[in-house]
Amino acid sequence: MRHSRASEFRALVLEAVRIVGSQTALAGELGKSQQQISFLCTKATEISAEDAMGIHRATGGKVPASLLRPDLWRCPEHVPVGKKDMEKHASRAVTRRLHPHYARRPSLCAEE
């Protein structure tokens, strides 16, 4: 997913690095290299759903995947964080990304 505001996206990844402690620590949590995390912090304009969920888990939800991938999840409560949840919602995430109905759907989040 291309993030409409790349600087906001990178700020979220930098916040995750700050919370976890270092790019190397976040890379270890995500099973990525430190260089890949550096790229996310400096040049990336998109992030995979798996990495967004990994950042959500690594930060204890302080950097929610719903902010990194708003096309897939509307609020933090909708993010599948366990393996069972991820399998259960995998096909639904693809539908949300591809089906135009979901772009116009009213928010289901409690905060809004």
> DSSP letters of 9-69?
HHHHHHHHHHHHSSHHHHHHHHT--HHHHHHHHHT-S---HHHHHHHHHHTTTSS-HHHH-
- Does some domain include residue 1? no
- Does some domain include residue 56? yes
CATH of the domain at 94: 1.10.260.40
- Does some domain include residue 77? yes
Q: Is the pLDDT of residue 8 over 90?
A: no
Tell me if the pTM is above 0.75: no
Tell me, rounded to whole angstroms, the distance of Cα 19 from its chain centroid: 15
Structural domain range at position 12: 6-103
Q: Which residue in the block uniquely carries the two structure tokens 């929610």?
A: 64
The structural domain count of the chain equals 1
- Does some domain include residue 21? yes
- Does some domain include residue 110? no
Q: Which residue has the higher pLDDT, 34 or 94?
A: 34
- Does some domain include residue 112? no
Mean pLDDT of 54-81: 82
